[in-house]
Structure 1
Amino acid sequence: MQPRRSGWRERDPMTTPTPHRTHEVANQAPDRVDLNEFTTNAALVENVARFDAAWAFDELSAIGEHVGTASFQRDAVLANVREPVLRAFDRHGNRVDEVDYDDSYHRVIGAAVAAGAHTSAWADPKPGANVARAAAFMLFAQVEAGHACPISMTHAAVPALRRQPELAAEWMPRLLSRAYDPRLAQGKPGALFGMAMTEKQGGSDVRANTTRAVAAGDAWRITGHKWFCSAPMSDAFLVLAQTDAGIGCFLVPRVLGDGSRNVFRIQRLKDKLGNRSNASSEVEFDATVGYAVGEPGRGIRTIIDMVARTRLDCVLGSAAGMRQAVAEAAWHVCHRAAFGRTLIDQPLMRNVVADLALESEAATALALRLARAHDEDASDAEVAYRRLATAVAKYWICKRGPGHAYEALECLGGNGYTEDYPLARRYREQPVMAVWEGSGNVIALDILRVIGREQDAVAAVRDELASAAPTDRRLAELLRSIDTRLAAASGKDPDEVAFDARRLTEDLALALQAAVLLTGAPDAVADAFCAARLGQDRGALYGTLPAGTKAASILSRV
């Protein structure tokens, strides 16, 4: 018996829609994965060797292979889209003040710790140790930047801790360990450090801090707040607080010796532009236990040892971001065609990408030059050089980062503006290096103080520039201009000198970059940099390299 089909008609197979494709996907660059990020980075490889760390090639190659994998890059994405979450209380209402991270974040930072990107230079000090450590740090930060904050602070805490032998004896073995355990627990083999300096009312003016420390036997009790406390799940922090003798520096552990939690009240996590995988917080102390580090009342001097190292890491992080940006841009334009030619064969695109590559090379070379000056065998002249040159590089390279990331992003067109590609994240990430550890004006004024008070630092930087100046007239002319400006500053009103501080800093930075390229980079790179950055007809934006630039030689390196 046939079913009743009221109002039903048999479909005509000739008119029934069938699934079909509207188009084939073509002319899209493949994913840039499974490349060795160390061996494919000519500038990094050459400068690691140049600054006495060729002995680290095998380990750096292994890191480069790891961070280039699709799985590591996937973790970098997940760590930023599955952001840290504050858990102030447990389900019973007990205060726990913990931050929960996605497992992807723990895999990223665990790999960086295992590779010694935090403290390998302290664990095995030798010529080039800081260069090898810097390269490892850059390789991880190139792909995922947020985790680099606690990695950097842990590295930078070592010289401050050395001022307090009993604390160093307790904490140094854990800082030098390559074991990572994310729990807040006593007895862990490894530890990470953070810092808490600034407060609402003062910001960079830490002398305006109101947090107070009161002696309590062998320890101190600290009460107050901190406006920015990065990586709050670190095992310990260096904290500034007022004492009767002036501002002191204190080590504040999250977990006390008996296994109980120290008072460390996380008020909220910052909602940041970038650096999303890394939690930054506001915290309150209420009779929190701390231990004095360094001389009483000399806390700023003590923590400056830490700040000097983290400023270098800001340079390294910015340079790492530039490498990611130019590598992604070059990859795209080599695989994408428009108007009848592959993009890389378009003359104007070649100008843009070559210009981006020059910026990346100059940042990488100066960063590793500075890292070498931080090694244990550094001479007095090298120590003097790094006091001025680190601040100069921190100002300039970190400020160049956001514009560089944007220009690279534009090379990808609309794709670059989407979150499916890494350059939108990189564009948001780059400004933090310029803001953290001293924004532009703070750094420029610090440079003026060094110039005014430490003539050995000025002489060391000038000697470096003078040794390279005879090889290029443009650098020689810039050095003469710098000398004139420095000489004139000695007779000017301090406010007038301060007004010009950024221009002087910029000139010093460009001169230092030119010098390091002229004495070690291929001729095509050094000449193009001097023409584009020091020449009279230099442009304001990327893609304005002058005629005659050997773009093919520059592009072959990226």
Structure 2
Amino acid sequence: MYVPTMSRKLADLGNQFDTDRVLRSYLKRMCPPEMYAAIKPDLQALGEKTGGELYDLQLQDRPNTPRLVQWDPTGDRIDQIELTDVWQRVLPMVAEHGVISTAYERENGALSRVHQGALAYLLLPASDMMGFLLATTDGSIATLLRSGNEPLIDEVVPHLLSRTPDTFWTSGQWRTEQSGGTDLSKVDTEARYEDGEWRLYGHKWFTSSTAANMAIVLARPESTNDQGRAGLSLFYLPIRDNHDESPADGIRVNRLKESMGAKKLPVSEVTLDGAVAYPVTELQNGTRHLTPMVDRARMWNALIAVSSMRRGLALARDYARKRKAFGTPIIEKPLHYDTLADVQATFEGAFHLTFRFVELIGKEENDALSNEEQHLLRALSPLAKLITGRQAVEVSTEVIEAFGGSGYVEETGIPALLRDAFALPLWEGTTNVMSLIALRTLRRDGRLEAVHNEIKRCADAVDTPALQHAMKQAQDAFKAAVQWLADTLEHRGEKALEAGARRFAYTIAHALEAALLIRHAQWAIQDEGRRPIAVAEYFTAKGINHIARRAHYDGYMLAKDFNRQSLFQSEAPIDTGSQKAAL
């Protein structure tokens, strides 16, 4: 008789706070002792749930996806979305543990964001990609508070910040239409003033938060003559009071999207046909008011990325302790543990960059940012999002391989790690879009200098020779990126600049990751001995400098697969290696 060799889940997790050396070490460095003592019990309780009951529920609920019920038995249109068991369990926990509200209660001032980041980081891997909805909820709060619209703030924000599940609301942002992409000037959802109310008409092609209670919607008032971005406005759209209700009149859910990953996230196409909405700000320049939303979306994207890396590593590490090959646990095999060490180093660099981003958001909310830190925040916003999204894909790929053939089997839940990770470089702008935004941002006065000074501050804090050697690699990579930018601007033009934007952004982001990781390593040596040095050396050994002196027309030729060099005879590559670095 055939007896299955694997009769249980492939790996166990345990308490995800107690077993997370990186998170605990970071919080001990960042938080005053009394703050750490106060927040630790709740983090431990959440870590126990995410590594225990919620992980078991995720495996049980694995085959299930959200379901759209468009009609009731009598033939009435209801458009109700039935959420998965995991989502129904996690939503109340978001309220109860203050995963949103902690940042705005500000019991610990600017460090309240760090506390919230830790809560989110622990919960997100157990939430089946609910992070996108929590991101837009957080962003909606910040957008409303920044708007100064007091009646709307008084009506809506208490629900979004509630710690009581029955009164807690979530919020979406509805921007994307059939044209897609980042060119918001093409938004054609129209706002019409009818019978004393604003009503929305249009089609939102991709909404990742249809199950929310409300949404911040981008629409064009019919009275505007501006058909570009400046003619768009932000509107508050009430959707439902409770998550199990039908949407408000004038909102039709046409279908749920069938996506490659994030299958538990109810992504849908929505038609707005006279839905009542309320202006958030003046009836123009709506995209300018989205900065708080965009920054928090990028912050949450990075948090989802680093928490998913941590989840994959925890599973792979436990499996490697249990799985034997030729009589020996594979965690003892040199190539296997070397591979996991590489993945661990990638994760830790991403972790420290993400939480530096979180720190700066917290300081901004508490009016504690210096002018230089404001420049640094603007630089980190696209950089943290783009690099951690790509690293999540890299790490999840290695995690699947760490399980061998078992990692390819759907019943284990492991393949979902990779599918879900692919959403992270796409949401809120692809890697190329983020690279161009980063390039544009870093060209502005003060931004590169702020990054330079951040790396220098990290370097000044290091006095261990091995860490100083690793830090020099980060500094050299940053200098190479600045050198390339100056040379390209002077000699090669905008096309060459755009062609190299991704390599430039990768280099700056990796240099920052390395510097922040190494600075923390210097502090952690007192408790952890050789380990912090090892992770710094592993990270820098993977390569930080991605700058390449390529002729952009060679890329054009290869991408289009032709050989017509004569078209570009006037654009001969030059040797800029002797040029001085700008910083």
Normalized against structure 2, the TM-score is what?
0.82
Deviation at 1:390, TM superposition (A): 2.2
Q: Structure 1 residues 277, 193: CA separation in 2 closer, same or farther (over 3 Å shift)?
A: same
Partner SS state of residue 70, structure 2: strand
- Paired amino acid for 1:201: S
Contact kept in structure 2, 1:29 and 1:331, CA below 8 Å: no
Q: Structure 1 residues 34, 308: CA separation in 2 closer, same or farther (over 3 Å shift)?
A: closer
Contact kept in structure 2, 1:370 and 1:389, CA below 8 Å: yes
Q: Structure 1 residues 90, 531: CA separation in 2 closer, same or farther (over 3 Å shift)?
A: same
Contact kept in structure 2, 1:374 and 1:383, CA below 8 Å: no
Contact kept in structure 2, 1:191 and 1:235, CA below 8 Å: yes
- Which residue in the other structure is 2:539 paired with? 529
Of residues 89, 96, 102, the one that matches 1:107 is 89
- Paired amino acid for 1:451: L
Q: Structure 1 residues 211, 329: CA separation in 2 closer, same or farther (over 3 Å shift)?
A: same
- Which residue in the other structure is 1:36 paired with? 15
Of residues 235, 244, 250, the one that matches 2:213 is 235
- Paired amino acid for 2:487: A
- The 5-angstrom pairing of residues 366-515 of structure 1 reads 366-375=353-362, 376-377=365-366, 378-380=368-370, 381-453=372-444, 455-469=445-459, 471=468, 472-491=471-490, 492-515=492-515
**For residues 22 and 440 of structure 1, what CA distance do their matches in structure 2 show?**
48
- The 5-angstrom pairing of residues 46-85 of structure 1 reads 46-52=25-31, 54=36, 55-69=38-52, 71-85=53-67
**For residues 304 and 191 of structure 2, what CA distance do their matches in structure 1 show?**
34
Is it true that 1:207 corresponds to 2:194 in the alignment? no
Deviation at 1:24, TM superposition (A): 8.8
Deviation at 1:62, TM superposition (A): 1.0
Contact kept in structure 1, 2:353 and 2:512, CA below 8 Å: yes
Q: Structure 1 residues 466, 218: CA separation in 2 closer, same or farther (over 3 Å shift)?
A: farther
Contact kept in structure 2, 1:212 and 1:241, CA below 8 Å: yes
- Which residue in the other structure is 2:286 paired with? 299
**For residues 61 and 487 of structure 2, what CA distance do their matches in structure 1 show?**
51
Q: Structure 1 residues 24, 444: CA separation in 2 closer, same or farther (over 3 Å shift)?
A: closer
Contact kept in structure 1, 2:212 and 2:240, CA below 8 Å: no
Is it true that 1:91 corresponds to 2:86 in the alignment? no
- Paired amino acid for 2:390: K
CA RMSD across the alignment: 2.3
- The 5-angstrom pairing of residues 117-196 of structure 1 reads 117-124=99-106, 126-162=109-145, 163=147, 164-181=149-166, 189-196=167-174
Deviation at 1:168, TM superposition (A): 0.8
- Which residue in the other structure is 1:320 paired with? 307
Contact kept in structure 1, 2:175 and 2:204, CA below 8 Å: yes
Deviation at 1:324, TM superposition (A): 0.9
- Paired amino acid for 1:479: F
Q: Deviations over 1:306-365 (max 9, x none)?
A: 011011110010101100111111111111111242211111111111111111111112
Structure with greater Cα Rg: 1
**For residues 159 and 514 of structure 2, what CA distance do their matches in structure 1 show?**
40
- Paired amino acid for 1:456: G
**For residues 260 and 531 of structure 1, what CA distance do their matches in structure 2 show?**
53
**For residues 292 and 534 of structure 1, what CA distance do their matches in structure 2 show?**
46
Q: Deviations over 1:96-141 (max 9, x none)?
A: 2211123332002222232112232012351311111111111111
**For residues 301 and 388 of structure 1, what CA distance do their matches in structure 2 show?**
18
Q: Deviations over 1:243-300 (max 9, x none)?
A: 21501111111149xx992311111100011111110000011121111112321111
**For residues 337 and 489 of structure 2, what CA distance do their matches in structure 1 show?**
45
Q: Deviations over 1:403-436 (max 9, x none)?
A: 2111111111111111232321111100111110
**For residues 281 and 60 of structure 2, what CA distance do their matches in structure 1 show?**
40
- Which residue in the other structure is 2:464 paired with? none
**Structure 2 segments unaligned to the other structure (5+ residues):** 461-467, 522-531, 547-583
Q: Structure 1 residues 421, 248: CA separation in 2 closer, same or farther (over 3 Å shift)?
A: same
**For residues 474 and 86 of structure 2, what CA distance do their matches in structure 1 show?**
46
- Paired amino acid for 1:105: W
**For residues 486 and 442 of structure 1, what CA distance do their matches in structure 2 show?**
18
- Which residue in the other structure is 1:539 paired with? none
- Which residue in the other structure is 2:550 paired with? none
Deviation at 1:230, TM superposition (A): 1.2
Q: Structure 1 residues 379, 535: CA separation in 2 closer, same or farther (over 3 Å shift)?
A: closer
**Structure 1 segments unaligned to the other structure (5+ residues):** 1-20, 182-188, 537-558
- Which residue in the other structure is 1:516 paired with? 516
**For residues 22 and 217 of structure 1, what CA distance do their matches in structure 2 show?**
72
Partner SS state of residue 411, structure 2: coil
Deviation at 1:218, TM superposition (A): 6.1
Is it true that 1:362 corresponds to 2:356 in the alignment? no
Partner SS state of residue 233, structure 1: coil
Contact kept in structure 2, 1:29 and 1:332, CA below 8 Å: no
Deviation at 1:68, TM superposition (A): 1.1
Contact kept in structure 2, 1:145 and 1:317, CA below 8 Å: no
**For residues 479 and 425 of structure 1, what CA distance do their matches in structure 2 show?**
35
Contact kept in structure 1, 2:459 and 2:519, CA below 8 Å: no
Of residues 278, 284, 288, the one that matches 2:265 is 278
Contact kept in structure 2, 1:87 and 1:96, CA below 8 Å: yes
Of residues 223, 232, 238, the one that matches 1:253 is 238
Contact kept in structure 1, 2:13 and 2:315, CA below 8 Å: no
Q: Answer with 88-97 or 275-284: which moved more.
A: 88-97
Contact kept in structure 2, 1:225 and 1:284, CA below 8 Å: yes
Q: Answer with 286-295 or 209-218: which moved more.
A: 209-218
Deviation at 1:204, TM superposition (A): 2.0
Partner SS state of residue 433, structure 1: coil
**For residues 346 and 33 of structure 1, what CA distance do their matches in structure 2 show?**
20
